[in-house]
Structure 1
Amino acid sequence: MPSTSVDGYTLTVAGKLTPGQSGELTVDIAGGDEQGSDVQRYEGAYVHVTAIHAQTLAFADLTPLDSDQRGPEFDVPAKLSKSGDWRLFIEFQTGGQLHTAAITIAL
């Protein structure tokens, strides 16, 4: 499972996706004062994920399944069109501060 750290938080992405088919990713946010449960709503959701294909620059804007999920795990529906490497940019907010983490996944 790919993971990265940003601003004292560790993010891990799990899930198995098949190119061109609907699937689901789980974003786990650990750290901070409350082990990821201190994530605040930002622009209508607790996490926002943008995926960009490394070779073609195709992109997908992914929205969480349940905008009321409070964390530390967030389910995000995903349909990525092509195989290859996808760079995920994950935004979340804590204490009024916006954080952006980047993780690469391979399909």
Structure 2
Amino acid sequence: MKIDDKKVHNVIKAMVVLVVGRIEGSKTYEGKRYTQILTPAADAYSRPQLVEIRSKGRLGEKGEEISCHCVLGGFQRKAYETKDKQTGEIVKVVPVEHTLDLVEE
């Protein structure tokens, strides 16, 4: 199926995702609220995902189900070297940390 890029960009903004799930907990750090959301499993044989949303304020109470739009972001962590178990080759790994920031109007 071919996707019409013009229609998609009118409906969905780049790097914006819909997060749906249950609030598992939250904390405040340096003036921002970090809320952990447990998402529903895709099917009966997979695990639910746990994501963390950064926001200015509280998203709800523990156990409450929510749905919200977030901007997906990320950054590189410190690189390190490790040995590939299959080939024995030393490879450089650059971990990437993903972030979710609540779309706040």
Give your verdict on TM over 0.5. no
Using structure 2 for the length normalisation, give the TM-score.
0.30
Which structure exhibits the higher relative contact order, with contacts defined as CA atoms closer than 8 Å and separated by 6 or more residues? 1
Higher Cα Rg: structure 1 or 2?
A: 2
